[in-house]
Amino acid sequence: MSDNVLNIKKEENYYILTINRPHALNALNHEVFTVLDQFFTQYYRDYSVKGIVITGSGDKAFVAGADIKEFSTLDAVSGAQLSKKGQDIFFKIERFHAPVIAAVNGFALGGGCELAMACHIRVAGTNARFGQPEVKLGLVPGYGGSQRLIQLIGKGKATELLLTTDMVNAHEALELGLVNYVVEPGNEVSNSLEILAKISEKGPLAVDKCIQLVNAYFDKGADGFKNEYTDFGELLGSQDAKEGALAFVEKRKPVFTAK
Protein backbone atom coordinates (compact mmCIF):
# COMPACT_ATOMS: atom_id res chain seq x y z
CA MET A 1 0.00 0.00 0.00
CA SER A 2 1.34 3.44 -0.84
CA ASP A 3 0.11 6.90 -1.64
CA ASN A 4 1.81 10.13 -2.58
CA VAL A 5 0.65 11.81 0.66
CA LEU A 6 1.94 8.94 2.83
CA ASN A 7 5.27 7.25 2.22
CA ILE A 8 5.28 3.74 3.67
CA LYS A 9 8.62 2.04 4.28
CA LYS A 10 9.10 -1.39 5.81
CA GLU A 11 12.23 -1.96 7.87
CA GLU A 12 12.51 -5.48 9.32
CA ASN A 13 9.27 -5.96 11.27
CA TYR A 14 8.52 -2.25 11.52
CA TYR A 15 6.85 0.30 9.29
CA ILE A 16 7.87 3.94 8.98
CA LEU A 17 4.98 6.13 7.85
CA THR A 18 6.01 9.55 6.57
CA ILE A 19 3.27 12.10 5.98
CA ASN A 20 4.38 13.64 2.72
CA ARG A 21 2.88 17.09 2.17
CA PRO A 22 5.91 19.31 2.90
CA HIS A 23 4.51 22.19 0.82
CA ALA A 24 1.61 22.30 3.31
CA LEU A 25 3.78 21.52 6.36
CA ASN A 26 2.27 18.00 6.22
CA ALA A 27 -1.19 19.25 7.15
CA LEU A 28 -3.79 16.53 7.54
CA ASN A 29 -6.29 16.40 4.71
CA HIS A 30 -8.86 13.90 3.42
CA GLU A 31 -6.26 11.89 1.51
CA VAL A 32 -3.92 11.55 4.50
CA PHE A 33 -6.75 10.41 6.74
CA THR A 34 -7.92 7.90 4.13
CA VAL A 35 -4.52 6.26 3.73
CA LEU A 36 -3.85 6.19 7.49
CA ASP A 37 -7.22 4.54 7.97
CA GLN A 38 -6.47 1.96 5.30
CA PHE A 39 -3.07 1.15 6.77
CA PHE A 40 -4.16 0.67 10.37
CA THR A 41 -7.20 -1.33 9.26
CA GLN A 42 -5.09 -3.62 7.05
CA TYR A 43 -2.55 -4.45 9.76
CA TYR A 44 -4.94 -4.60 12.72
CA ARG A 45 -3.92 -7.61 14.85
CA ASP A 46 -1.23 -8.61 12.36
CA TYR A 47 1.35 -9.69 14.93
CA SER A 48 4.10 -9.87 12.32
CA VAL A 49 4.07 -6.06 12.60
CA LYS A 50 6.12 -5.23 15.69
CA GLY A 51 5.80 -1.47 15.63
CA ILE A 52 5.09 1.70 13.67
CA VAL A 53 6.89 5.04 13.48
CA ILE A 54 4.95 8.06 12.22
CA THR A 55 6.87 11.14 11.15
CA GLY A 56 6.62 14.09 8.77
CA SER A 57 8.41 14.88 5.54
CA GLY A 58 11.12 17.53 5.71
CA ASP A 59 12.61 19.17 8.78
CA LYS A 60 10.06 21.91 9.48
CA ALA A 61 6.99 20.01 10.58
CA PHE A 62 5.74 16.71 11.86
CA VAL A 63 2.19 17.84 11.09
CA ALA A 64 1.37 21.53 11.37
CA GLY A 65 -2.36 20.94 11.76
CA ALA A 66 -5.42 20.11 9.71
CA ASP A 67 -5.85 21.43 6.19
CA ILE A 68 -7.95 24.52 6.96
CA LYS A 69 -8.86 24.90 3.28
CA GLU A 70 -11.14 21.86 3.62
CA PHE A 71 -13.13 23.56 6.40
CA SER A 72 -14.62 26.29 4.22
CA THR A 73 -17.44 24.15 2.80
CA LEU A 74 -18.40 22.43 6.05
CA ASP A 75 -21.52 23.04 8.12
CA ALA A 76 -22.47 21.77 11.58
CA VAL A 77 -23.37 18.28 10.37
CA SER A 78 -20.46 17.72 7.99
CA GLY A 79 -18.08 19.31 10.49
CA ALA A 80 -19.11 16.86 13.19
CA GLN A 81 -18.73 14.01 10.71
CA LEU A 82 -15.19 15.11 9.85
CA SER A 83 -14.28 15.34 13.53
CA LYS A 84 -15.76 11.89 14.23
CA LYS A 85 -13.86 10.40 11.29
CA GLY A 86 -10.58 11.82 12.58
CA GLN A 87 -11.28 10.56 16.09
CA ASP A 88 -12.12 7.07 14.81
CA ILE A 89 -8.84 6.86 12.88
CA PHE A 90 -6.83 8.09 15.87
CA PHE A 91 -8.57 5.48 18.06
CA LYS A 92 -7.31 2.82 15.63
CA ILE A 93 -3.80 4.12 16.21
CA GLU A 94 -4.24 4.30 19.98
CA ARG A 95 -5.65 0.75 20.08
CA PHE A 96 -3.16 -0.78 17.66
CA HIS A 97 -1.69 -4.04 18.92
CA ALA A 98 1.93 -2.93 18.55
CA PRO A 99 3.58 0.28 19.74
CA VAL A 100 3.10 3.33 17.54
CA ILE A 101 5.73 6.02 18.06
CA ALA A 102 5.45 9.62 16.90
CA ALA A 103 8.86 10.86 15.70
CA VAL A 104 8.15 14.57 15.97
CA ASN A 105 10.42 16.59 13.70
CA GLY A 106 9.28 20.20 13.96
CA PHE A 107 5.81 21.64 14.41
CA ALA A 108 3.09 19.40 15.86
CA LEU A 109 0.13 21.75 16.02
CA GLY A 110 -3.61 21.18 16.11
CA GLY A 111 -4.29 17.89 14.35
CA GLY A 112 -0.56 17.18 14.38
CA CYS A 113 -0.39 17.41 18.16
CA GLU A 114 -3.51 15.25 18.31
CA LEU A 115 -1.94 12.64 16.04
CA ALA A 116 1.20 12.57 18.19
CA MET A 117 -0.89 12.17 21.35
CA ALA A 118 -2.81 9.25 19.81
CA CYS A 119 0.50 7.42 19.45
CA HIS A 120 1.74 5.37 22.40
CA ILE A 121 5.15 7.04 22.69
CA ARG A 122 6.51 10.37 21.48
CA VAL A 123 10.11 11.14 20.53
CA ALA A 124 10.74 14.81 19.80
CA GLY A 125 13.62 16.59 18.13
CA THR A 126 14.89 19.66 19.95
CA ASN A 127 13.23 21.78 17.25
CA ALA A 128 9.77 20.33 17.95
CA ARG A 129 6.93 22.62 18.96
CA PHE A 130 3.55 21.48 20.28
CA GLY A 131 0.26 23.33 20.56
CA GLN A 132 -3.50 23.35 20.08
CA PRO A 133 -4.31 26.67 18.37
CA GLU A 134 -7.95 25.94 17.49
CA VAL A 135 -9.55 28.68 19.58
CA LYS A 136 -7.69 31.24 17.45
CA LEU A 137 -10.00 30.09 14.65
CA GLY A 138 -13.08 30.10 16.85
CA LEU A 139 -12.94 26.29 17.09
CA VAL A 140 -12.08 23.53 19.54
CA PRO A 141 -9.83 20.53 18.90
CA GLY A 142 -11.66 18.00 16.76
CA TYR A 143 -9.55 14.84 16.84
CA GLY A 144 -9.38 14.09 20.56
CA GLY A 145 -6.97 16.81 21.61
CA SER A 146 -9.07 18.22 24.43
CA GLN A 147 -9.20 14.78 26.07
CA ARG A 148 -5.74 13.32 25.43
CA LEU A 149 -3.93 16.51 26.44
CA ILE A 150 -5.56 16.27 29.87
CA GLN A 151 -4.63 12.59 30.12
CA LEU A 152 -0.98 13.35 29.39
CA ILE A 153 -0.30 16.59 31.27
CA GLY A 154 -3.22 17.12 33.66
CA LYS A 155 -6.29 19.36 33.73
CA GLY A 156 -4.75 22.65 34.82
CA LYS A 157 -1.93 22.90 32.30
CA ALA A 158 -4.06 21.39 29.53
CA THR A 159 -6.74 24.02 30.11
CA GLU A 160 -4.12 26.77 29.98
CA LEU A 161 -2.62 25.56 26.70
CA LEU A 162 -6.01 25.01 25.08
CA LEU A 163 -7.21 28.51 25.98
CA THR A 164 -4.01 30.52 25.44
CA THR A 165 -2.90 28.48 22.38
CA ASP A 166 0.68 28.87 23.63
CA MET A 167 3.18 26.53 22.03
CA VAL A 168 5.61 24.49 24.14
CA ASN A 169 9.06 23.48 22.99
CA ALA A 170 10.47 19.98 23.18
CA HIS A 171 12.10 20.34 26.60
CA GLU A 172 8.95 21.89 28.08
CA ALA A 173 6.96 19.04 26.56
CA LEU A 174 9.31 16.55 28.22
CA GLU A 175 8.88 18.22 31.60
CA LEU A 176 5.09 18.18 31.19
CA GLY A 177 5.02 14.51 30.22
CA LEU A 178 3.82 15.25 26.71
CA VAL A 179 6.84 13.50 25.17
CA ASN A 180 9.00 10.59 26.30
CA TYR A 181 12.35 11.59 24.81
CA VAL A 182 14.07 14.62 23.32
CA VAL A 183 16.81 13.99 20.75
CA GLU A 184 18.86 15.98 18.30
CA PRO A 185 17.07 16.84 15.04
CA GLY A 186 17.45 14.05 12.52
CA ASN A 187 17.60 11.33 15.20
CA GLU A 188 13.85 11.11 15.87
CA VAL A 189 13.22 8.05 13.67
CA SER A 190 16.40 6.16 14.60
CA ASN A 191 15.70 6.65 18.31
CA SER A 192 12.13 5.47 17.77
CA LEU A 193 13.38 2.33 16.03
CA GLU A 194 15.70 1.62 18.97
CA ILE A 195 12.69 1.72 21.30
CA LEU A 196 10.72 -0.59 19.00
CA ALA A 197 13.64 -3.04 18.86
CA LYS A 198 13.61 -3.26 22.66
CA ILE A 199 9.85 -3.85 22.79
CA SER A 200 9.85 -6.35 19.90
CA GLU A 201 11.74 -8.86 22.03
CA LYS A 202 8.76 -9.12 24.36
CA GLY A 203 5.66 -11.30 23.98
CA PRO A 204 3.47 -9.76 21.23
CA LEU A 205 0.20 -10.86 22.85
CA ALA A 206 1.32 -9.39 26.17
CA VAL A 207 2.39 -6.12 24.50
CA ASP A 208 -1.05 -5.91 22.88
CA LYS A 209 -2.81 -6.55 26.19
CA CYS A 210 -0.69 -3.94 27.99
CA ILE A 211 -1.60 -1.32 25.41
CA GLN A 212 -5.30 -2.08 25.78
CA LEU A 213 -5.09 -2.09 29.59
CA VAL A 214 -3.48 1.34 29.62
CA ASN A 215 -6.24 2.57 27.32
CA ALA A 216 -8.86 1.04 29.62
CA TYR A 217 -7.75 3.33 32.46
CA PHE A 218 -9.16 6.27 30.53
CA ASP A 219 -12.25 4.45 29.24
CA LYS A 220 -15.16 5.35 31.51
CA GLY A 221 -17.04 2.26 30.33
CA ALA A 222 -14.24 -0.19 31.13
CA ASP A 223 -13.21 -1.90 34.36
CA GLY A 224 -9.44 -1.90 34.01
CA PHE A 225 -8.85 -4.12 37.05
CA LYS A 226 -11.28 -6.74 35.77
CA ASN A 227 -9.69 -6.55 32.33
CA GLU A 228 -6.30 -7.06 33.94
CA TYR A 229 -7.13 -10.30 35.76
CA THR A 230 -9.03 -11.58 32.73
CA ASP A 231 -6.09 -10.84 30.43
CA PHE A 232 -3.62 -12.29 32.96
CA GLY A 233 -5.53 -15.56 33.01
CA GLU A 234 -5.94 -15.65 29.25
CA LEU A 235 -2.23 -15.10 28.70
CA LEU A 236 -1.29 -17.79 31.22
CA GLY A 237 -3.03 -20.24 28.94
CA SER A 238 -1.12 -19.10 25.87
CA GLN A 239 1.80 -20.83 24.19
CA ASP A 240 3.80 -17.61 24.50
CA ALA A 241 3.53 -17.59 28.29
CA LYS A 242 4.64 -21.22 28.46
CA GLU A 243 7.56 -20.43 26.16
CA GLY A 244 8.44 -17.39 28.26
CA ALA A 245 8.51 -19.40 31.49
CA LEU A 246 10.53 -22.20 29.90
CA ALA A 247 13.03 -19.78 28.40
CA PHE A 248 13.44 -18.13 31.81
CA VAL A 249 14.22 -21.48 33.45
CA GLU A 250 16.58 -22.46 30.64
CA LYS A 251 18.25 -19.02 30.72
CA ARG A 252 17.73 -18.27 27.02
CA LYS A 253 15.82 -15.78 24.93
CA PRO A 254 12.18 -16.80 24.35
CA VAL A 255 10.87 -17.41 20.86
CA PHE A 256 7.37 -15.98 20.81
CA THR A 257 4.82 -16.93 18.14
CA ALA A 258 1.83 -14.77 19.17
CA LYS A 259 -0.15 -17.91 20.09
Asked whether the predicted pLDDT for residue 1 surpasses 60, the reply is: no
CA torsion sign for 186, 187, 192, 193 is positive
Query: Residue 102's closest CA among 64, 60, 54?
Result: 54
Asked whether the predicted pLDDT for residue 191 surpasses 90, the reply is: yes
What does the mean pLDDT of the chain come to? 95
At residue 148, the pLDDT reads 98
Q: How many CB atoms lie within 10 A of CB 219?
A: 11
pLDDT mean over 154-173: 98
- The amino acid at 92: K
Query: Residue 130's closest CA among 84, 99, 165?
Result: 165
Q: Which residues are catalytic?
A: 114, 134
Asked whether the predicted pLDDT for residue 44 surpasses 80, the reply is: yes
Q: What is the pTM of this model?
A: 0.95
pLDDT mean over 40-46: 96
Asked whether the predicted pLDDT for residue 120 surpasses 80, the reply is: yes
Q: For residues 125 and 123, give the distance between their C-alpha atoms in angstroms, rounded to a whole number.
A: 7
At residue 74, the pLDDT reads 87
Percent of the chain with pLDDT over 90: 94
* pLDDT tens track for 48-75: 999 999 999 998 999 998 888 888 888 9
- The amino acid at 27: A
At residue 3, the pLDDT reads 60
Q: Are 132 and 109 in contact (CB under 8 A)?
A: yes
At residue 184, the pLDDT reads 97
Q: How many CB atoms lie within 10 A of CB 183?
A: 21
Show me where the domains of the chain are located.
6-200, 204-249
CATH class of residue range 6-200: alpha beta
Which residues lie closer than 8 Å to 238 by C-beta, 6 or more apart? 205, 259
Q: For residues 81 and 66, give the distance between their C-alpha atoms in angstroms, rounded to a whole number.
A: 15
